[in-house]
Amino acid sequence: MKIRPRINRWTAARRKLINSSSIAHSLVQPHFVVDGEGVDVEINSMPGISLQSVDVLVQTIADDMAMGISNHMLFPIVDPSLKDSAATVASHTHMPLHNAVRELKSKFGGDIVIMTDVCLCTATDHGHCGIVHNQALDNDLTLPVLSQIALSHAEAGADYIAASDMMDGRIGAIRDSFEQAGHTDTGILSYSVKYASSFYGPFRDAASSSPSFGDRATHQMDVTSGYSEAIFEATNDVAEGADIIMVKPALAYMDVVREVANAIHRPVAVYNVSGEYSMVMTSAEDESSRKNMVTEIFHGFKRAGADIIVSYHTREAVRLQWFQ
Ligand code: PBG
């Protein structure tokens, strides 16, 4: 196991994301990448957020970069005809996500921070986050598949892979595979404290990643669990080599963010998830009430101890200069 503190200092854009006290610099914009050309389809329950093919996505991110949004999180959306029980295509190097990462990195180099979601759920035909064996998620059969997917993202040039699956031991497994392949500058953002939340609905609709049977209760954390489990998960992932620790969702867990931030010595991220975004968008239809709500929410995240904020509100907030 290797701990590599230099990863968070590797590029100017990473240093700005991790260390700046400005809210604007802490924001990360999520994107959904699909196959095809000229595709730009807004997600019903998430106004302003679209499924985009690589050509449209690269243009969108170029516009974002010009506005000052340097941090981007990419989710692969896989055509249902390509899904299977082992998420085989998720690690294919010419999937839209991989093509997008390569193109963006050759365009923006060290000025952009690209995070890529690593999980099986968007590429399995059953919608589960891992390999299913005897109707149950098999932790240890899933680890090599996750490592394979993570490696393929690292090879494409991702700054951080974002492990969102919640299998035991995956951070160590991914770090080991990065070491073996010589990817000593690729970071790992761990969704360490990820709850089995009811706030992921719009995302799962967009990604068609709802489980076809059962739920995510055996791997994602119980929404009624306490601080000790959150701190236990976070400290384990730090010990396994995670470079950034995430708490998700954000709004109902601000107290957990504070506890985790107090307990660990690594940057803390919050994910202001799809259901939270939809709530704001449906209750604040005009710009100024959105500005007021998002201002309150983001300052709350900062107060709670978040260094990094992943939010679908990023583009509007930066475009309209709601934060410095
Ligand atoms: C994949 C993943 C999910 C989200 C991020 N990564 C869905 C899930 O766990 O079911 C949710 C993001 C959001 O709701 O905005 N495992």
Of 120, 203, 208, 273, the one to substitute when testing ligand 1's pocket (max ligand atoms within 8 A of C-beta) is 203
Which residues make Cβ contacts (< 8 Å) with residue 290, sequence separation at least 6? 280, 281, 284, 313, 316
Ligand 1 in reach of 164 Cβ (< 6 A): yes
Nearest CA to ligand 1 atom 8: 200
Q: What are the structure tokens assigned to 160, written together?
A: 């951080």
Dist. CA 182–CA 282, nearest whole Å: 46
Query: What are 219-270's pLDDT values in tens digits?
Result: 899 999 999 999 999 999 999 999 999 999 999 999 999 999 999 999 999 9
Q: Is the pLDDT of residue 209 over 80?
A: no
Query: What are 84-133's pLDDT values in tens digits?
Result: 999 999 999 999 999 999 999 999 999 999 999 999 999 999 999 999 99
Ligand 1 in reach of 129 Cβ (< 6 A): yes
Ligand 1 in reach of 273 Cβ (< 6 A): yes
Q: Can you tell me which atom of ligand 1 is nearest the CA of 273?
A: 15
Ligand 1 in reach of 117 Cβ (< 6 A): yes
Distance from the alpha carbon of residue 270 to the mean position of ligand 1, in angstroms: 13
Q: Which amino acid is at 54?
A: V
Distance from the alpha carbon of residue 215 to the mean position of ligand 1, in angstroms: 13
Dist. CA 132–CA 136, nearest whole Å: 5
Asked if 8 and 159 touch (Cβ cutoff 8 Å), the reply is no
> Which parts of the chain fold into alpha helices (H)?
12-19, 23-26, 54-67, 96-108, 139-156, 170-181, 201-207, 227-240, 254-263, 274-283, 287-304, 314-319
Ligand 1 in reach of 121 Cβ (< 6 A): yes
Give the pLDDT score at 218. 87
If you ran DSSP here, which 8-state letter would residue 251 be given?
Answer: G
Q: Taking each helix axis from N to C terminus, what angle separates 96-108 and 139-156, rounded to the nearest 10 degrees?
A: 40
Name the residue among 116, 97, 96 with its Cα closest to residue 37: 96
Give the pLDDT score at 1. 67
Distance from the alpha carbon of residue 200 to the mean position of ligand 1, in angstroms: 6
CA dihedral 118, 267, 235, 177 (to 10 degrees): 40
CA dihedral 281, 287, 291, 294 (to 10 degrees): 10
Q: Can you tell me which atom of ligand 1 is nearest the CA of 200?
A: 14
Q: Is the pLDDT of residue 302 over 70?
A: yes
Please give the positions annotated as active site.
Answer: 194, 248
Name the residue among 255, 267, 241, 278 with its Cα closest to residue 25: 267
Asked if 222 and 196 touch (Cβ cutoff 8 Å), the reply is yes
Query: What are 158-192's pLDDT values in tens digits?
Result: 999 999 999 999 999 999 999 999 999 999 999 99
Distance from the alpha carbon of residue 206 to the mean position of ligand 1, in angstroms: 10
Ligand 1 in reach of 200 Cβ (< 6 A): yes
Domains, in order of start, for the chain: 5-319 (3.20.20.70)
pLDDT-above-90 percentage for the chain:
92
Ligand 1 in reach of 310 Cβ (< 6 A): no
